[in-house]
Amino acid sequence: MSNRDWLAEQFESARPRLQSVAYGMLSSVSEAEDAVQEAWLRLDRSDTETVKDVRTWLTTVVARICLDMLRVRKRRREDYVGTWLPEPIVQQAAEDGPEHQAELADSIGLALLVVLERLNPPERLAFVLHDIFGLPFDEIGQIMDRSTDAARQLASRARRRVQTAPQPESNIAVQRQVVAAFLQAAHSGDFDALLKVLAPEVELRFDLGPDLAHKPLAGAESVARHVLATAPRFISFAKPVLVNGSVGLMFGTTDEPISVLGLTVVDGHIAALDLIVDPAKLRHLGIKS
């Protein structure tokens, strides 16, 4: 096996984790793929004789690429008229076997990604690498060209902000019960039933694309009225799926998705609804079983 073939084998072995790290940093499937591909190009062009651990090297490179992309995107985001939401990862709502539960445990939820968008790039990098992927702070410090203590402080600041957000329900069975009640109320046009399933401070966010804006709705009554006003047109297209490891809805088909609705369940109620309509954020979809 040539050295290049060996490097390619090492890269393909590391690709799933690299993709997850990049997605956690960027909240974008397409941008994560770009970051990982750029890491391969850099590896292919590099003198690897001094590289002791290819996977660690690749993680470092991907993290630094993502950090640069976040900084550029922050400046570009100023031109985004509407609400910016993450690109969703959608899977079939499969049965809850041990293997499936292990996959969900590795999912980065939509609610968490929304919170991560509020962090500055260094805070996000430190939090994602340590709290989600378990990298030690000394490695994170090297990646960021900072001290171990500085990396720890960045992650700590990020963690405090993450912990102030509502903590989503992790039990898929409970999520399904709540979402089923939501669908039933929407189907039947039952306003009172919707109020019971929505948290009092629920928020409905819309990502229609960079040039279209729809102000978020807050409060159970406002959200319920909007759901009942739009349900007759769209509810028949709703298909229960997993959105970033949590129960959500997809409207349309795999080949022609209309939108994806992420639902955050907290204490038996829907605390947030994230409606992603931007076609650019749905083009990667191909429902995975």
Distance of alpha carbon 25 from alpha carbon 128, whole angstroms: 7
194-253 confidence digits (pLDDT tens) = 999 999 999 999 999 877 778 899 999 999 999 999 988 888 889 999 999 899 999 987
Give whole-number Cα distances, 54 to 6, 45, 121, 266, in Å: 10, 14, 25, 41
151-183 confidence digits (pLDDT tens) = 999 999 999 999 888 789 989 999 999 999 999
CB 260, CB 88: distance < 8 Å = yes
> What is the per-residue pLDDT for 170?
87
> What is the per-residue pLDDT for 289?
45
Domains and CATH numbers, the chain: 3-84+112-163 (1.20.140.160), 172-281 (3.10.450.50)
Question: Would you place residue 259 in the very low, low, confident or very high pLDDT band (cuts 50, 70, 90)?
Answer: very high
Q: How many residues does the chain have?
A: 289
Question: Would you place residue 78 in the very low, low, confident or very high pLDDT band (cuts 50, 70, 90)?
Answer: low
Burial category of 105 from C-beta neighbours within 10 Å (exposed 0-12, middle 13-18, buried 19 and up):
exposed
Q: Is the pLDDT of residue 98 over 60?
A: no
* CA R_g for the chain: 20
